[in-house]
Amino acid sequence: MRIIVFFDLPVKTALERKIANRFRKALIKDGYQMLQLSVYSRIVRGRDAVQKHEKRLIAMLPEQGNVRCLEVTEKQYANMKLLIGTPKKQEKKVQNTQQLLLF
């Protein structure tokens, strides 16, 4: 399974940028990888892990802005289509080893 986090945080002032950057760094430290700007995803093992990581996510939320969380299966994630642009190196590695991740 995967958790996908979407966020839109205010960045008009220096303090808001610092808070947004702190949130982004906390996501990376917790194992999330940037899918695109303000969209991060993380692989988890089962529903128990989803709940655990959602609690961690709630603990690191900033006071302002919008943050959304979506859980999807690996099959649903694999069906995602890239409509324009090129996949990142990390995405290519995961796609090439995807069968290994499923077993």
Question: Which carries the bigger pLDDT value, residue 98 or residue 4?
Answer: 4
Q: Which residues contact 1 (CB under 8 A, 6 or more apart)?
A: 43, 44, 45, 46, 47, 49, 50, 71, 72, 73, 74
Domain-by-domain residue ranges, the chain?
2-102
pLDDT for 9-61, tens place per residue? 999 999 999 999 999 999 999 999 999 999 999 999 989 999 999 999 999 99
CA dihedral sign, ordered 6, 54, 3, 89: positive
Work out the number of other CB atoms within 10 angstroms of the CB of residue 75: 9
The pTM score is 0.81
CATH class, range 2-102: alpha beta
Q: Is residue 102 classed as helix, strand or coil in its secondary structure?
A: helix
pLDDT for 56-102, tens place per residue? 999 999 999 999 999 999 999 989 888 888 887 776 655 554 444 44
